[in-house]
Amino acid sequence: MAKEIIEFCGEARFDEPVEKGKFGVGSRIDVAHPADFGLASGFEVVAYWERPGDKPLAYVDKKGKHEIDLSLYREWEEMLPLFRERLEDAELLVFDFDGTLYEISTQLDTEFQKAMARESTKFLSTKGVVINENQLREEIKKESDLGMGATNYLQSLGVPREVVADALSSIEKWRYLKRDPILVAMFERLADRRKALASNSPEEENLRALERLRVKPEVFEMIISLEDVTHSKPRPEFFEKIVALLETPAEACVSIGDSEEKDIKGAQATGMRAVLVGKPSEIATAWIPRIYDLPRLLT
């Protein structure tokens, strides 16, 4: 239903419930603008009411996909001057991929874990190591949730990175993605910035995923994938290799990602600054509500 009204600039009303079960029973929808809420952010908001005149139950962005926390934006805009000051001399933006440039669905995350557990179990069995596949999958999920990195964990068990790469490639994550014009526009606004992509995923998968999103690989000065490093995030060695490959001082680089453990702490351990995507952070140099807000942070 939200997709049917996103082109309106005013108000739209429907007699039947909208998005029942997700936002409660809504009988009225407005396509509002951030200025209506004292915000300057560049997105439109769809607001859901249970009854006309009530406080909205939820706000969803123009894509009709992501719920917007307006209080989060108010908090962020208060912090913007300080964040901009901290990043004003940044030279190179180092983007995480999975979970940062696109949202990882529960289904895709589950498929990642299944594939790594399946292929790792097969490999270990050839070495005489017997391990339960379901149990290994639970351990992979646990390590990922802790932010320590599934690849690093599997390597500690003796599983080569090549096996992990093959497992990840078998998922074909690009099939779960679709064109993101807002992301494309974001990179256009950052055209004068040096940019790199640093991912724990295999190179071919990263390239196909970028194609699916319609983001040209040429946007990035360099794309660093699983094959290019011997350790994955959040190991400091991963970020040290990035700094070496890009021939840029660590203090001039900014890591941008959705995980405090993987993208923030690991980067900061090498002297890089870091921006967390999706929620406030007390340890990051700065944070943004969504990746699309990055140009405003760096303006």
Tell me: the pLDDT tens digits for 79-135?
Answer: 999 999 999 999 999 999 999 999 888 888 889 899 999 999 999 999 898 899 999
CB-CB neighbours of 253 under 10 Å: 25
pLDDT band at 38 (very low <50, low <70, confident <90, very high): very low
Q: How far apart are CA 270 and CA 241, in angstroms?
A: 10
pLDDT, residue 33, reads 44
Percentage with pLDDT > 70 across the chain = 75
| pLDDT tens digits, one per residue of 223-280 | 998 888 877 777 888 888 888 988 999 999 999 999 898 899 989 999 999 999 999 9
**Mean pLDDT, range 177-191, rounded to an integer:** 87
Distances from the Cα of 58 to the Cα of 6, 36, 97, 102, 235, angstroms: 15, 15, 28, 22, 38
Q: Between the CA of residue 234 and those of 97, 237, 240, 269, what are the distances in Å?
A: 14, 8, 11, 9
Q: Give the Cα separation of 205 and 208 in Å (integer).
A: 5
Residue 158 region, left (φ>0) first, then alpha (ψ -120 to 50), else beta?
left
Rounded Cα gap, residues 31 and 47, in angstroms: 7
Domain 79-102+177-297 sits in which CATH superfamily? HAD superfamily/HAD-like (3.40.50.1000)
Q: What band does 31 get if pLDDT is binned at 50, 70 and 90?
A: very low
Which token pair is 21?
A: 């079960």
Closest CA to 22 of 53, 63, 55, 64: 64
How many CB atoms are closer than 10 A to CB 298? 19
Tokens 């908001």 appear where?
Answer: 45
Any idea where the domains of the chain sit in the sequence?
2-68, 79-102+177-297, 106-174
Does residue 83 sit in helix, strand or coil? helix
For the stretch 45-82, pLDDT in tens is: 555 545 555 555 455 554 444 556 667 877 888 899 99
Return the sign of the alpha-carbon dihedral for residues 265, 267, 272, 276. Answer: negative
Distance CA 8, CA 66 (A): 18
Taking the CB of residue 128, how many other CB atoms lie within 10 A of it?
6
Residues ≥6 apart with Cβ < 8 Å to 232? 149, 151, 152, 200, 226, 238
The three-point CA angle 174-179-184 to 5° equals 115
Pick the closest to residue 29 from 40, 21, 18, 39 (CA basis): 18
Both tokens of residue 128?
């005489």
Choose among 235, 269, 255: nearest CA to 149. Answer: 235
Asked whether 210 and 217 are in contact (CB, 8 A), the reply is: yes
Q: State the pLDDT confidence band at 197, using cuts at 50, 70 and 90.
A: very high
DSSP label of 214: T
167 pLDDT above the threshold of 80: yes
